[in-house]
Amino acid sequence: MFPQSYDWRYRVISNLLSPRDNPGHYWLAGCGMALSGLFMLPFAGYLHRHLQTASPRVASVSYGAFIAGIVALVCTCLVVPQHTHGVFWVRRMHEFLARSSAAFLAVGMLCGCWCALKNRRKSVFAARLFWTWSFVTLLPLVGILFSECLLLLTRSKPSWALPIRNALRHSVFWHLGFWEWTGAAAVFLFLCALVFLTQPLAILEGKVRKGTAFVLMQKVARSSFAQNDYEHDRMTKR
């Protein structure tokens, strides 16, 4: 479908959505990515309910970040890359939305890792979930940050640009396309781990209700004992 040979290691995802680079089928790639984003919406709610057992506040942040990332992803598919005209007076609106989507999804995944860290000692599933989420989240982030740091270094230190480019010119780690597809695969694996490495919500919420009921029973028992001691002290004084 792509006019030329498409190598995911070197070409960015936006090439598939570009009317200039993919004039015949850019709409097909855009529809596919938009549907992928919409299909992620139920996972955001499912993730929110799971993370609430660890920290309701962080779970809400993760949920909001995932929703914002999904909305930005869908908008990225609707606002195709413009090479000549800006959108709403912004020349690179597509790139801005794409980076915003990646940033929001990364924040949501990091919040999930933090909640999994708090729950990792509760069960074997929780420990496996924490290590899986940490691997699929931190590895692409470290790679992207390292690539961006090298790019900034070549711009701030022109004398270092030629040696760095010569050393990494033939490496896939130098190309943004490799890290974009790696990040997309990381989000997919993150959601797969959410489904296959977590306990069913019925069991999880049942444990939370039992734990909450147990705490309330303890409080009631303590208040009852305190009341009995108070009555006993009054009777003794009389």
Q: What is the mean pLDDT of residues 142-161?
A: 74
pLDDT digits (tens, 9 = 90+) for 122-132: 777 788 899 99
The ranges assigned to domains in the chain are 14-199, 203-238
Q: Which residues are 87's β-sheet partners?
A: 90
Q: What is the mean pLDDT of residues 116-140?
A: 87
How much is the mean pLDDT over the chain? 79
Can you give the length of the chain in residues? 238
Instruction: Give the percent of the chain with pLDDT over 90.
Output: 31
CA pair distance 158, 165, nearest whole angstrom: 11
Three-state DSSP class for residue 200: coil
